[in-house]
Structure 1
Amino acid sequence: MEPNKVSVVVPIYKVEKYLNRCVDSIINQTYSHLEIILINDGSPDKSGTIAEEYAKLDNRIKVIHKENGGLSDARNFGVQYVTGDFTLFVDSDDWIEVNMITELVHNSLKFKADVVQSAFYYAHQDHLLFDNRFYQKDDPPIILDNEALMAELVMNERVKNFAWGKLYKTEIIRDIPFKKGVLFEDVFWAHLVMKRVKTYLILHQPLCYYFQRGDSIVSDYSPRNLDIIKGLKERQIFIEEFYKNLSNESYKVLLKTIFIHYNLLLVNRKKDPKGTNKKELQIYIKKNYVKFINAAEKDNNLKKQLLLFSIHPYFNILFLFFRKLLRKFKIVPTPLGLEKINL
């Protein structure tokens, strides 16, 4: 008997190549008490037609067509139609294991968890990657209270900011919309949801596949990618107000992200021809230098980067280059990588 309905929300846009794989993985779940909400976000390809064909075959599927408004708008639209006790977000180029929802619901009920997170694979065309730096696949579940959860969310290692890969009690998320018109929308959303969570459960068995498309962030980079920094700045204000003890860790994540995007802007000079975005990042670091240096006090590498960057950003780049060189020749240790599984 499956008394708890699960609503699966799937935003759809230009995914005709991947949509069958995604929807098939949902309709074939061992947990059958599902409501599958497919939101066609004004997709110009055949995605909407494919979705309608599925709806004819499975009465659990609702197809909603709307004008294009982006991923956040599509998710928000879909949540309006949710009637399930639990909600699961699945991106339309990803897919899930046949027993994923059974496992998530079972463990949510067993541990009385507000949110259950599963491990996942980074799925490439010819191989999978699994993050085994912290946990092994057969490790027992981990329970986090609210304080521990927020600490993990800020670090973004064991608990990612991703909305997908997690089963939520619907009552927790229903009135927290995703921010529209931004990239990295999950960064703006996750901390607001997690503040409401009393019990968070981490499962280590990988139950979903996060598809990695061929285009890289370097080749496809644009100033819109800086939205992630806007999201982290918003979160910093939130952390200062509600979780003051996590302020330094939050500033560290923000600083590391700024350095990454400053370097990406350098590589993609044509996308920032007047250097306006780079200057804004420099000004922000200068304005908050004391906070950043305090946050980086126990992180020697980050502290060096900040000191060098404050002299000139190119000094930081030289530091990173030489560190990479030293790692290549095994003079300094290489950070642990991910487990690779060939297909």
Structure 2
Amino acid sequence: MNPLISVIVPVFKVEEFLSRCIDSIRNQTYQNIEIILVDDGSPDQCPAICDMYAQMDSRIQVIHKRNGGLSDARNAGIEKAKGDYLCFVDSDDYIQSTMIEHMVSEAQKNNVKMVIANLKTVDEKGYRVFESENSPIHKGLFTAEELLPKLYQKLGWYYIVAWNKLYHRSLFNKIRFPIGKIHEDEYIVVQIMWKAREIVCIDSEEYIYVYQRKGSIMNSRQVQSQCDWLEAIYQRFEFCKREVSLSTFTAETRAVYFRELKNLFLKPGLSGKSTAEQRKKAKKQYAFMDGKTKTEWVNWLLFLISPKLENQIVQNIRKMRG
């Protein structure tokens, strides 16, 4: 069996990186692919570069659309895709020549609908950012229940991001990336993993991620980023509490939300720029999270009195306990 793989590449203001990205996909050892370049209204030479590559390679098709953001571009690619599996590659990143071959092989061998590949994180000059032995991704077949807690561990974003993965197209039935959100991957990762049920992880570094490129989304709009993340965590909590076997993960999700809620109120870069309406919404979401322990209720009540007071009391207690 030689399934068709749809590789979706959102494109916006990346003209100096785009050829490297496209070439890495074209040169895959696995050849039965279609490459969907989604020009998200890019104002530079990216549209022309996309069209040039489409003339060079019949497997490439280009979507030119008005700028709608990363989620909108990915969604447009999903709608256009004809493949049995989907794969996302960000246009300022690139992939190893064996990535798709290895992921397809593991998907077929283990009869799973989702495969996660390890990644190599580099800066703009190509130097490694994180040591490979620190990667949280280890080779094996895992259930969704086993992998979900890893989202909150060190470098948990390796599991969250959309682009180092192979997805059976059925996983995106009725699921799309939320429009206009910065942490778009955070909103859907739990639903996708839960739908997949079993997931294969590959420990070889197949995806090359260029870490926090200057001017990238991850380097801007800090307050919106924090608020979107909080909303994503809240929606994750609401999804998980409907699944009995995810009760432990629900408790972890609530704890992470409260930690990040405090950051919104206490971190100078966030507290000084966030609006009263944003802070009110975040507090309301946490108030609606049920299942709080007695300790969580005490911390929450102290927080309502004063976030700084709650934080100081917690810090003092930790010091007393050594």
Interval containing the TM-score (normalised by the shorter chain): 0.7 to 0.9
In structure 1, what is the Cα distance between the partners aligned to 2:186 and 2:198?
20
Quote how far apart the aligned CAs of 1:74 are: 1.1
In structure 1, what is the Cα distance between the partners aligned to 2:74 and 2:113?
20
In structure 1, what is the Cα distance between the partners aligned to 2:314 and 2:134?
23
* 2:192 aligned residue: 193
Quote how far apart the aligned CAs of 1:175 are: 3.4
Superposed CA deviations along residues 37-93 of structure 1, whole A, max 9, x for unmatched, are: 001111111111100001111110000111111111111111112111211011111
Q: Does 1:133 align with 2:134?
A: yes
* 2:269 aligned residue: 267
Whether the aligned pair in 2 keeps the contact of 1:153 and 1:191 (CA below 8 Å) is no
Whether the aligned pair in 2 keeps the contact of 1:36 and 1:62 (CA below 8 Å) is yes
Aligned partner (choices 146, 151, 157) of residue 148 of structure 1: 146
Quote how far apart the aligned CAs of 1:257 are: 2.5
Quote how far apart the aligned CAs of 1:134 are: 5.8
In structure 1, what is the Cα distance between the partners aligned to 2:140 and 2:247?
24
Amino acid at match of 1:129: V
In structure 1, what is the Cα distance between the partners aligned to 2:58 and 2:19?
17
* 1:91 aligned residue: 90
In structure 1, what is the Cα distance between the partners aligned to 2:232 and 2:67?
22
* 2:308 aligned residue: 314
* 1:67 aligned residue: 66
Amino acid at match of 1:124: D
In structure 2, what is the Cα distance between the partners aligned to 1:217 and 1:313?
29
CA 1:135 to 1:152, structure 2 compared with 1: closer, same or farther past 3 Å? closer
SS in 2 for 1:160: helix
In structure 2, what is the Cα distance between the partners aligned to 1:62 and 1:218?
28
* 1:77 aligned residue: 76
* 1:337 aligned residue: none
Superposed CA deviations along residues 213-237 of structure 1, whole A, max 9, x for unmatched, are: 1358897334321111111111111
TM-score scaled by structure 1? 0.78
CA 1:45 to 1:307, structure 2 compared with 1: closer, same or farther past 3 Å? same
In structure 2, what is the Cα distance between the partners aligned to 1:66 and 1:164?
21
Q: What percentage of aligned pairs have identical amino acids?
A: 30
SS in 2 for 1:17: helix
Whether the aligned pair in 2 keeps the contact of 1:84 and 1:170 (CA below 8 Å) is yes
Q: Does 1:229 align with 2:230?
A: yes
Unpaired runs of 5+ residues, structure 1, are: 297-302, 327-331, 333-343
Quote how far apart the aligned CAs of 1:292 are: 6.6
Alpha-carbon RMSD? 3.3
In structure 1, what is the Cα distance between the partners aligned to 2:109 and 2:290?
46
Q: Does 1:277 align with 2:278?
A: yes
Quote how far apart the aligned CAs of 1:309 are: 5.1
In structure 2, what is the Cα distance between the partners aligned to 1:80 and 1:36?
13
Amino acid at match of 1:233: Y
In structure 2, what is the Cα distance between the partners aligned to 1:120 and 1:260?
29
In structure 1, what is the Cα distance between the partners aligned to 2:209 and 2:3?
26
Unpaired runs of 5+ residues, structure 2, are: none
In structure 1, what is the Cα distance between the partners aligned to 2:48 and 2:156?
38
* 1:207 aligned residue: 206
Whether the aligned pair in 2 keeps the contact of 1:251 and 1:295 (CA below 8 Å) is no
Whether the aligned pair in 2 keeps the contact of 1:51 and 1:63 (CA below 8 Å) is yes
In structure 2, what is the Cα distance between the partners aligned to 1:271 and 1:218?
17
Amino acid at match of 1:313: P
Superposed CA deviations along residues 243-295 of structure 1, whole A, max 9, x for unmatched, are: 2332211112222332333344x3256633x5443455456556769727657
In structure 2, what is the Cα distance between the partners aligned to 1:92 and 1:218?
15
SS in 1 for 2:86: strand
CA 1:76 to 1:309, structure 2 compared with 1: closer, same or farther past 3 Å? same
In structure 1, what is the Cα distance between the partners aligned to 2:309 and 2:68?
41
Amino acid at match of 1:24: D
Whether the aligned pair in 1 keeps the contact of 2:116 and 2:159 (CA below 8 Å) is no
